Structure 1
Amino acid sequence: MTIRCAVISFAFVAFFSLATAQEREARPRISFEEVLRREDANKDGKVTKEEFKAAPRLFERFDRNKDNVLTSEDFAGQPARPNGERIPGRNGGNAPEDVNVLRDVVFGTGGGRDLTMHIVLPKLSASASSPGPAPAYVWIHGGGWQGGTKDGGVGQVVPLVREGFVGATIEYRLTGEAAFPAQIEDCKCAIRYLRAHAEKYNIDPNRIAVGGSSAGGHLVALMGTSAGVKEFEGSGGWADRSSAVQAVVNLYGPTDFKAFVTTKGFESHNRAGSPESKLLGGGEVASNTEGVKRVNPITYIDKADPPFLIIHGTADKTVPANQSEAIHEALKVAGVSSKLHLIEGAGHGGPQFTQPEIRSMQIDFLTTVFKTRLETDD
């Protein structure tokens, strides 16, 4: 039986587990409540093709009774996901049994709708020592700012949760819904939420790190350099709290779009309709001088920025390595601690980034910055 893999340009892709095509058609892994929350523009309890912003083939997959409208009938048998509660037996879908996952916790609003995160907590044994407030590691997903979901981030934060961190993986508005700066506004809102609820989740509000890959790498880099930039704060909630972060792990994220789209082999990213163009609101990228400057994390660097760990593949065919080299050099010039690690021959993600030494590099960086390891008794 064949596994069908598809790249879907919208935030629902990770709700599907690897299964046969027939199983996926019959059992969509997203709840109807989540579809309504994202897609029901007129709030009438159903979603038409016109309202559905994702790929048409995804609508067809959800529309099990083929009546061209998504209703609760199409999602019969799928469990609802109450805010902040675990689904018995599911544990966050891709999370191991030694952590607890609080799913779809509403952390704020963006564009008039709720924004959610998964919070990943350590499951300590009865004999474990009682830890004090823990550092947090917040994962920002990639997907060209136009796709991806927070679900894949659960696996990204688990290794840090095992080292004494509280993990979180967040959603943000994609370019099909809103152009920049909506994405960074939502990310900053998530940080403010965690600070506002630090006691509830046992978080040390002075030790919050962010990590992300590709488009997520761009957003975490921008979070690291734009503390205090009021135009990026948005109005999603918790305005009395800071959105500053204390460490950044940037995996192959874009930075300087002008250098990006003029690099040999990457010129197609300059065209209207490219992911970078969509982020900027449309049109040719290089000619949008102000927009390119505005989205560039390098624009906002100063000596007060947190330490960075930057990892990129030398054979990346999606984002050139010069993007990571540029921000690394700019951080060093400003006197900010930055480590750049280039993986020889690695592409845009892939197995080289999951090797033990690369995983350990990220864990060691964050545990060293925050000087923490989880202490448990055998």
Structure 2
Amino acid sequence: MPMVAGMVMTLLAAVGVSATFTPPAHATVITDIAYAPAQPAGSRGHLLDLHLPSTGITPRPLIIWHSGSAWTSDNGKEGPDADAVAAIFNPLGFAVAGVSVRSSSQAVFPAQVHDVKAAIRWLRANAATYQLDPNRFAIMGDSSGGWLTEMAVFSGGVAALEGTIGTTGVSSAVQVGLAFYAPTDFLQMNAQSLPPGVIDHDSPGSPESLLIGCPIQTCPAATALANPMNYVDANDPPLLFMHGQADFLVPHGQSVLLYNKIKAQCGDAIFISVPGADHMKDEIMDPAQFANHTVRTTTDCTETVGTGTFHTTWDNFATFLRGGLKMGTSCEVTYATGGWPGAFNGSVTVRNTGTTPIEKWALTWTWAGNQQVTAYWNSVITQVGTAVTARDAGHNSYIGPGSSQNASFTASVTGTNAIPAQFKLNNIVCPRVP
């Protein structure tokens, strides 16, 4: 078991987002907020950090983040992961709360779920103080943090998992979730392990057994209570979850089981299966694998399966979260051209009609004819076939609520020069206005 524990901790150290991320400039970070009294005294499991953007419209949507540790740490609010999420989402107008829960050595399940629900209740009860939108709470996490995310998403309204810690009488519901490579059915982990026998999840000293408080195969009823799948129903919030097919710490099959359960219950989910990826975000988000992702989507008892149809980028994650939080269409486009034989100048002006700022924008459209961009300004434009992408030029990457940015170009054309049928800003469809 010491060898297994060492292996687990080594892997966990490698899981995080690159440390090159730093907390965003012009944001306020309030650390070590106690959402409930410490248990045990001096522990950190009932603390949270709030990263509040200095820009954007209030009240702000909130993202709750918890870093995985195989349930061995009571400090899941800190580290490069929380900083990275804040660095990405604060400029988009999201508040970010890094939330810690108790470790398995401090308290066994369901303490960790009681803790995260207490944190959610505290954040909702104090939403006005920190200018948070109490109706737009998202939750994210990786590994055991992904498990905590899924438990929070699926167990809304389950009284047995609510607990009495901290603030009570307030909803602990979230509106959307995003999870990286989370365990679900602990009892099947050994059978699904790749390769078999590297980690004994059934051992009395395994992370799963320590969480439940007994060797999991000897207490299947207690273990089943910690299985997110057992709380899935058709009324759950949408979940986006990802898993690498080469994950030898948490088997890929764990997410397959969850997706099948959500589909059977007519739930709302996107499951992205990444070939060759191990238990690391860098591998899950590797652009080299984008075209090979298997993307399974289920909603309203209808399933679609595609390859490479959802790229695992922070921009796309933000789009998914915006949809789950019902933040609505956030843009509109004005398109104008002026031409001469064989060529024309074009201008696309995009306006942010949403309530949160947009940072690092990419505007995409598809030509209906043989138009070919030959020069551009105010943006960086690339074209592959008929598909065009105009990205910000760096100096104009920010589009505040009600503000606009422009992409201009010269293009060659023969024949009909039709207006593109659709424009998308960071994968959000923008209606075209005169």
Q: TM-score, normalised by structure 2?
A: 0.62
* Partner Cα separation in structure 1 for residue 237 and residue 40 of structure 2: 32
* Partner Cα separation in structure 2 for residue 360 and residue 146 of structure 1: 31
Contact 2:24 2:90 in 1 (8 A): no
* Partner Cα separation in structure 2 for residue 350 and residue 239 of structure 1: 35
Deviation at 1:165, TM superposition (A): 1.2
Structure-1 residue corresponding to 2:220: 289
* Partner Cα separation in structure 2 for residue 350 and residue 229 of structure 1: 31
Q: Does 1:275 align with 2:204?
A: no
Equivalent residue runs for 1:314-333 within 5 Å: 314-333=245-264
* Partner Cα separation in structure 2 for residue 157 and residue 7 of structure 1: 29
* Partner Cα separation in structure 1 for residue 205 and residue 7 of structure 2: 17
Structure-1 residue corresponding to 2:379: none
Deviation at 1:201, TM superposition (A): 1.3
Contact 2:22 2:87 in 1 (8 A): no
Equivalent of 1:137, from 50, 55, 63?
63
Higher helix share: 1
Structure-1 residue corresponding to 2:159: 230
Structure-2 residue corresponding to 1:360: 315
Deviation at 1:134, TM superposition (A): 1.7
More deviation, 93-102/358-367: 93-102
* Partner Cα separation in structure 1 for residue 36 and residue 274 of structure 2: 37
* Partner Cα separation in structure 2 for residue 175 and residue 94 of structure 1: 29
Structure-2 residue corresponding to 1:62: none
Structure-2 residue corresponding to 1:370: 325
Deviation at 1:8, TM superposition (A): 9.8
* Superimposed CA distance per residue, residues 186-225 of structure 1 (whole angstroms, 9 cap, x where no aligned partner): 1000100010001111111111110010001011101111
Structure 2 unaligned spans of 5+:
1-5, 288-310, 328-353, 358-399, 405-434
Contact 1:260 1:323 in 2 (8 A): yes
* Partner Cα separation in structure 2 for residue 109 and residue 294 of structure 1: 25
What's the Cα RMSD here? 2.6
Contact 2:177 2:237 in 1 (8 A): yes
State the one-letter code of the partner of 2:175.
Answer: Q
State the one-letter code of the partner of 2:69.
Answer: G
Higher strand share: 2
* Partner Cα separation in structure 1 for residue 33 and residue 319 of structure 2: 29
* Partner Cα separation in structure 2 for residue 326 and residue 201 of structure 1: 38
Structure-1 residue corresponding to 2:26: 98
Distance change (3 Å), C-alpha of 1:164 and 1:171: same
Structure-2 residue corresponding to 1:119: 50
* Partner Cα separation in structure 1 for residue 91 and residue 22 of structure 2: 15
Contact 2:23 2:86 in 1 (8 A): no
Percent identity for Structure 1 against Structure 2: 32
Structure-2 residue corresponding to 1:307: 238
Structure 1 unaligned spans of 5+:
1-5, 20-92, 125-129
SS in 2 for 1:186: helix
Contact 1:154 1:168 in 2 (8 A): no
Structure-2 residue corresponding to 1:73: none
* Partner Cα separation in structure 1 for residue 256 and residue 159 of structure 2: 27
SS in 1 for 2:35: strand
Q: TM-score, normalised by structure 1?
A: 0.71
Contact 2:24 2:91 in 1 (8 A): no
* Partner Cα separation in structure 2 for residue 316 and residue 202 of structure 1: 39
Structure-1 residue corresponding to 2:270: 339
State the one-letter code of the partner of 1:140.
Answer: H
Deviation at 1:150, TM superposition (A): 1.4
Equivalent residue runs for 1:1-378 within 5 Å: 94-109=22-37, 111=39, 113=41, 115-124=46-55, 131-147=57-73, 149-152=76-79, 153-264=82-193, 265=196, 268-283=200-215, 285-355=216-286, 357-358=311-312, 359-372=314-327, 374-375=356-357, 376=400
* Superimposed CA distance per residue, residues 263-312 of structure 1 (whole angstroms, 9 cap, x where no aligned partner): 242561111100001001032x2231112211001111111110000111
* Superimposed CA distance per residue, residues 59-92 of structure 1 (whole angstroms, 9 cap, x where no aligned partner): xxxxxxxxxxxxxxxxxxxxxxxxxxxxxxxxxx
Deviation at 1:112, TM superposition (A): 5.1
SS in 1 for 2:262: helix
* Superimposed CA distance per residue, residues 154-195 of structure 1 (whole angstroms, 9 cap, x where no aligned partner): 322332222221110111100111111111111000100010
SS in 1 for 2:78: coil
Contact 1:213 1:252 in 2 (8 A): yes
Q: 4+ runs of 1 displaced by more than 4 Å?
A: 6-9, 354-357
* Partner Cα separation in structure 1 for residue 86 and residue 122 of structure 2: 18
SS in 2 for 1:109: coil
